[in-house]
Chains A and B, each alone.
Chain A
Amino acid sequence: MTRRRIGRGLVYLLAIMIALWILIPIYLITITAFSPKDVIYSWPKSLFPRVISLETLLFFIKAQYVLDSLKNSVIVALLSLAISLVIGAPAGYGLARHTFPGKDVFRLMILSTRAFPIVILSIPLAVTFMQWGLYDSLISVAFLHVAMALPTTILVTSSVFMGVSKELEEAAQVFGCNRMQAFMRVALPLALPGLAASAIFTFVLSWNEVFAATILTLYNRTLPARLFIQLQASPLPFRFAGGFFILIPAITFMFFIRRYLFSLWGITLR
């Protein structure tokens, strides 16, 4: 009884330590981003902000290229999301509903595309995009992000569609739908939350991706790519504000989709 209690306590302790390991930097970045310049440069640091100000964040936003690259980031992320869903969801549906020769091999091959490091993919792609006249365009970055997101999108949507009973679509067909209507009226609405989760996953992936975006663009950089280059040469407030800006969407989206991520792993969240 007491031994079990001690074991439980240890597990909780470990969980708390891991959480702190992640949360403390996030907390420090956040309070620093909301502190005025002189506080940021002062030492020792205080754990609790005494002055809250938007000075640092405004400084960051007003910096050259920041708003442009923010816009680029949003466009690239939305493009990646749309393209990967348009290609990935039907593939996932096919995997969920049909058996065909080589299905298991296909499933494995989808994943194996992730075995190539982005470094290896990006440079030949940069050359190819130059030949095609796509270099330094947002769509080229989006294409690479789609390539990165597609395996997850396909596997996630296939498990989402597998969760929608086939009998429901058959019932819809018996009661007057053709296959397409049965999909639109029954399978799609039921799969929507899962599809949304997978879409947001792609969005966050694209939002956070640095390397490919850096190599494939020169002037039309996304926010992470821009920061990646500028951070070393920037003043401290700029770095903290940048870090905060990159963090926020990712955390917000993760919060939205965590229940679906858990359900994909077979854990129910109460």
Chain B
Amino acid sequence: MAEIRVENVRKTFGKVKAVWDVNLNVRDREFTVLLGPSGCGKTTLLRCIAGLEQVDQGRIFIGDRDVTDLPPRRRQLAMVFQSYAVFPHLTVFENIAFGLRMQHKPKDEIEKQVQSAAKLLHIEELLDRYPAQLSGGQRQRVAVARAIAVQPQVLLLDEPLSNLDALLRLEMRAELKRLLEEIETTTLYVTHDQVEAMSLGDRIAVMRDGQILQYDTPLNVYNRPANLFIGGFIGTPPMNFLEGEIRTEDDRVVVHTGGGDIYPPPKAQAMLRQLKEPEVLVGIRAENIETLHTPAEGTLQAEVLVVEPLGSHNLITMQLGPEQIKVNTDADFKAQPGQTLWLRLNADKICWIEKSSGRAMYPD
């Protein structure tokens, strides 16, 4: 059990800045997810922590040990690889026992540890088999069992579910969550799947272009994205963004958009007043918009383009002034393409974004 501390780490490949001045502090026993689009440097950062890549600059600590210059085997960590990397020439038992054998643990202890790890992952009956005789999901379990059998201080997982089919992935996701809560190891988990990140992580570190943009709880990352990119990256559908212009009318701040005027709540007004530029982006999630069949006070008029019934709810794409906007409605809400509807944006849930910098602002 230990924290992971990454300080000002840089890693470049030729001219590519894979990881650029990253600071990350994963608390003891915390489950952190590194989330980002492919090529954002998340796997490189994980490999730097594992010691499989040498950092160009910066330090990495596990607990209070500076591991920056240590080879992987001395860092007291375990890793689950994207391709599982289960040794094909060893039985499942020997695969799980591999790390313990390298530590020259006594025979009965190895037996005990392997059995308990296998039991946690429900693969006790497979111990005598070779990996070639296993399915992808079973190999995945072997890889995880091998990692937890050594009782590492830190567990690193590199897109462990990405090679599984959709149904199995869902099942393994829940099982991983249960398992990792049970063993209470500090965990760093890399994924490009935002749903995985939301469902698994205690905290999510969103990465882009080698940098961490936001490091916060899943709900905060979802509800209060730090910038335009995160709002557009997380959530299905992603956040809607409307171009707006701040105007002051009768001492009140009004945000004028192509689809109509939006009246910010008082706290937000004070904040918007201090902006140096009038241009602002109004970020709002599909579920924070109420859809009405009839006009009402403070609503915006929009035209239905596409209706997608998703069972649990409907996803409606609408033309709002010059922009398209996606809105969630109840499953029994009736709408036809071409129909005119009225939208009420929940002003408290709006994420105000400075247009020039893409930085998101929240009044509280």
A173 interface residue (CB < 8 Å to B): yes
A48 interface residue (CB < 8 Å to B): no
Please, how many angstroms separate the alpha-carbon atoms of A190 and B72 in the complex? 22
A170-B52, A190-B88 in contact; A175/B98 too (CB < 8 A)?
Answer: yes
A176 touches which of B79, B87, B89, B103 (Cβ 8 Å): B103
A174 interface residue (CB < 8 Å to B): yes
A168 interface residue (CB < 8 Å to B): yes
Q: Is the CB of B99 within 8 A of A175?
A: yes
B16 interface residue (CB < 8 Å to A): no
Residues of chain B with a CB closer than 8 A to A176's CB: 73, 98-99, 102-103, 150
Which parts of A149-183 form the interface with B (CB within 8 Å)? Answer: 165, 167-168, 170-178, 181
B78 interface residue (CB < 8 Å to A): yes
Would you call the interface of chain A mostly helix, strand, loop, or mixed?
helix
Q: Is the CB of B71 within 8 A of A173?
A: yes
A186 interface residue (CB < 8 Å to B): yes
Q: Is the CB of B71 within 8 A of A167?
A: no
Residue of A176, A181, A186, A189 with most partner-chain B CB within 10 A:
A176
Residues of chain A with a CB closer than 8 A to B50's CB: 174
Q: How far is the CB of B217 from chain A (nearest CB, A)?
A: 29
Q: Is the CB of A174 within 8 A of B102?
A: no
A165-B83, A172-B98 in contact; A178/B71 too (CB < 8 A)?
Answer: yes
B212 interface residue (CB < 8 Å to A): no
Residues of chain B with a CB closer than 8 A to A177's CB: 73, 102
Please, how many angstroms separate the alpha-carbon atoms of A190 and B83 in the complex? 17
Q: How far is the CB of A212 from chain B (nearest CB, A)?
A: 38
Q: Is the CB of A174 within 8 A of B89?
A: no
Which parts of B93-141 form the interface with A (CB within 8 Å)? Answer: 98-99, 102-103
B275 interface residue (CB < 8 Å to A): no
Please, how many angstroms separate the alpha-carbon atoms of A189 and B98 in the complex? 15
B296 interface residue (CB < 8 Å to A): no
Q: How far is the CB of A124 from chain B (nearest CB, A)?
A: 44
Residues of chain A with a CB closer than 8 A to B72's CB: 170, 173-174
Q: How far is the CB of B275 from chain A (nearest CB, A)?
A: 49
Q: Is the CB of B102 within 8 A of A175?
A: yes
Please, how many angstroms separate the alpha-carbon atoms of A113 and B37 in the complex? 47
B281 interface residue (CB < 8 Å to A): no
Please, how many residues of chain B have a CB less than 8 angstroms from a CB on the other chain? 22
Residues of chain B with a CB closer than 8 A to A172's CB: 87, 98
Residues of chain A with a CB closer than 8 A to B88's CB: 168, 190
Q: How far is the CB of B74 from chain A (nearest CB, A)?
A: 9
Residues of chain B with a CB closer than 8 A to A190's CB: 88-89
Please, how many residues of chain A have a CB less than 8 angstroms from a CB on the other chain? 16
Per-residue B-contact encoding for A175-208, CB less than 8 Å = 1, 0 else: 1111001000010011000000000000000000
Q: How far is the CB of A188 from chain B (nearest CB, A)?
A: 10
Residues of chain A with a CB closer than 8 A to B98's CB: 172, 175-176
A173 touches which of B52, B82, B89 (Cβ 8 Å): B52
B52 touches which of A174, A178, A186 (Cβ 8 Å): A174
Please, how many angstroms separate the alpha-carbon atoms of A189 and B226 in the complex? 50
In the complex, residue of chain B having the shortest beta-carbon distance to the beta carbon of A171: B85
Q: Is the CB of B81 within 8 A of A170?
A: yes
Q: Is the CB of A165 within 8 A of B85?
A: yes
Residues of chain A with a CB closer than 8 A to B82's CB: 167
B280 interface residue (CB < 8 Å to A): no
Q: Is the CB of A175 within 8 A of B78?
A: yes
Residues of chain B with a CB closer than 8 A to A181's CB: 102
Q: How far is the CB of A238 from chain B (nearest CB, A)?
A: 48
Q: Is the CB of B85 within 8 A of A168?
A: yes
A170-B52, A189-B89, A190-B89 in contact; A175/B83 too (CB < 8 A)?
Answer: no
Residues of chain B with a CB closer than 8 A to A167's CB: 81-83, 85
Residues of chain A with a CB closer than 8 A to B71's CB: 173, 178
Please, how many angstroms separate the alpha-carbon atoms of A167 and B160 in the complex? 13
Residues of chain B with a CB closer than 8 A to A170's CB: 52, 72, 81, 85
Residues of chain B with a CB closer than 8 A to A186's CB: 87, 89
Residues of chain B with a CB closer than 8 A to A189's CB: 89
Residues of chain A with a CB closer than 8 A to B99's CB: 175-176
Residues of chain B with a CB closer than 8 A to A175's CB: 73, 78, 98-99, 102, 146, 150
Q: Is the CB of B81 within 8 A of A178?
A: no
Residue of A167, A172, A174, A178 with most partner-chain B CB within 10 A:
A174
Chain B residues with CB under 8 Å of chain A are 50-52, 71-73, 77-79, 81-83, 85, 87-89, 98-99, 102-103, 146, 150
Chain A residues with CB under 8 Å of chain B are 165, 167-168, 170-178, 181, 186, 189-190
Ordered by A's residue number, 10 sampled pairs between the chains whose C-beta atoms are within 8 Å are A167-B81, A168-B87, A171-B79, A171-B81, A171-B87, A172-B98, A175-B146, A176-B73, A176-B98, A181-B102
The 3 closest A-B pairs by CB, nearest first: A176-B102, A175-B99, A171-B85
Beyond the given pairs A165-B85, A172-B87, 9 more chain A to chain B contacts, judged by CB atoms under 8 angstroms and listed by A's residue number, are A174-B77, A174-B79, A175-B102, A176-B73, A177-B73, A178-B71, A181-B102, A186-B89, A189-B89
